[in-house]
Amino acid sequence: MSSPRYFRDVKQYIHVCSSNPPLDYLDHWIPLTPLEQMARTDYDVIIVGTGAGGGAVLWRLCDKWRKGGKRIAVIERGDLLLPTHAMNLPTLNYERMIRFVENPKFKQPITCHHTDLAIPLDFSQFFAFGGRTLYWGTGSPRFHPLDFQTWPFTYQELLPYYQIAERVMGVSQKFTQRSTIQQNLLRRLRTIGYVEATDFPLAIDHNFRKNGLHLSAVFSSINLFAHALNVGAFDLAVNARVVQVFTDKGTVVGVQVLTPSRKAYVIKGKIVVLAASTLENPHILLCSGIQDESIGRYLVNHSWAETEGRLEFVHSEREIGNMAILVPRTHRQRYQVEIHLDQPYEYAPNIYGEIGNRDLRISMRGFGAVEPRYTNRVSLSPNQVDEYGIPKLAVHFTFSERDLHVIQQMISSMENQACGIGIHLIAPPCLKPPGRESHESGTCRMGNNPHFSVTNQYGELHQVSNLFVADSSVLPYIGGTNPALTIVAVAIRTADYILHRLKN
């Protein structure tokens, strides 16, 4: 049958596009590289772990090297779990997020030892691409300058990196901008003497577009991987557990990786960066036979007290706004207090409805400083192995008398704040089990004295050249402040040192 007259005429001036399917397809939402291929490659840098520290090192290296021909390998023990922070997903509110990430499939408890049976321990590990940044609380204050007294560098030296970290994480105080309830409670707090009370800086970016990329509002290290993917190049393997670091004449040369089926691969690299977590980094180093008495020692975290209450709040506007208040760590107090709505990411009217007098459910959290002590440590279990045949981890931890004094001060302050601003507490603040706060740090602490630290000020091991640590485990002291922003800032500083090392 011949074509209609109109179609024969149209073909004279219409150009039909040819079909150009991609040459190769993606099987996942981020490109993955088989371990077999990685084992045949000599890398300039190997990064172990994809949480805040590992993501920050990768972001900085890719941002500086661009397509400069350097080879970077990233190895993650967990699987691809979420493509963004859980709160960016429409199906997850705060309550469902907690139920999801507490699933034993992802969060594994660790055997704990303590002498005070009245205070149980609850340390655990979370394995997934993105690590704990997939569900962290986004609180991003800087450490107080006093917290750097035992560090090998000062607050002023880290300040430029704080500024970089705040920019890349999208940290601001915009979350509570123009909130009537926020401003009202801040006035009440300052009136009763808490003059430092302020809007909580959160890693929730209200400027969604950066460099042409549409990024999720709530920050996770996957944002850093997205940028690295668009400006640089790296190979990524998941479900790949690093169990050993290889050295030759005091210099790192690579790592051994096991698959879930226990197949072993050796990945070679000039520089290795451990960013697998405060608990997993010493696990790897101890299994590697690296001789350093400080590895796994000086474990620090935060004491965590929490309570809930009701606030009778009379408001005349339909939109009373978000709430996120920070009473920061100061010269006088070695703790911080956070005050927010019971569902911290929610907008108040969405929960409480009509205009008028309403009892708002309020949550208060206090995080207190814990002393770095030699006896608080991570060790290898002498008689237990995991499914890989690797010795299991054990955590040894107790609070000191000074820690308990800080806890008493913190709880008293929380009760005073609640009473002063009109929050009727449902129950007194209770102390959460140590480890539950997921702020553990210090097991590979940095310092100038090799006898009392594991790495130098740039995160490089005293005992092994070109072997770096770049996450919370290098922080020698964290005061009473959320450590995430500082983890990213210190990791970027370490990345700059690695750039300098490879350049020279």
Mean pLDDT for all residues in the chain: 91
Q: Does the pLDDT of residue 358 top 70, yes or no?
A: no
Paired tokens of 324: 């996120």
Q: pLDDT > 90: what percent of the chain?
A: 78
pLDDT at 214 over 70: no
207 vs 164, residue with greater confidence: 164
pLDDT in tens, 451-476: 999 999 999 999 999 999 999 999 99
Q: DSSP secondary-structure letter at 474?
A: G
Q: Is 119 exposed, middle or buried (0-12, 13-18, 19+ CB in 10 A)?
A: middle
Distance CA 177, CA 180 (A): 9
Can you list the domains of the chain with their CATH numbers?
Answer: 25-96+124-170+205-298+441-504 (3.50.50.60)
The number of residues making up the chain comes to: 504
Extract the tokens encoding 116.
């005070």
Q: Helices (DSSP H) in 201-272: which residue ranges?
A: 221-231
158, pLDDT greater than 50: yes
pTM of the prediction? 0.94
Q: Write out the H or E segment, with its range, that includes residue 214.
A: strand 213-214
> How much is the pLDDT for 24?
82
Amino acid at 367: F
Please compute the mean of the pLDDT values over residues 382-392 and round it to a whole number.
92
How far are the Cα atoms of 284, 301, 439, 443, 486 from residue 472, in angstroms, in the given order? Answer: 15, 10, 8, 9, 8
Please give the pLDDT value at position 495: 98
- Whether pLDDT at 349 is above 70: no
The pLDDT confidence band at residue 61, using thresholds 50, 70 and 90, is very high
Angle at 338 between CA 214 and CA 52, to 5 degrees: 40
pLDDT > 90? residue 344: no
**pLDDT over 50 at 355, yes or no:** no
346: its two tokens: 């929610």
Helix, strand or coil, per DSSP, at residue 242:
strand
Confidence of residue 435 (pLDDT cuts 50, 70, 90): very high
Q: Of 16-30, 97-111, 267-281, give the range with the top mean pLDDT.
A: 267-281
Q: Which of 449, 501, 493 is nearest to 470 (CA)?
A: 493
Question: What does the radius of gyration of the chain's CA atoms come to, in whole angstroms?
Answer: 25
pLDDT in tens, 253-300: 999 999 999 999 999 999 999 999 999 999 999 999 998 999 999 999
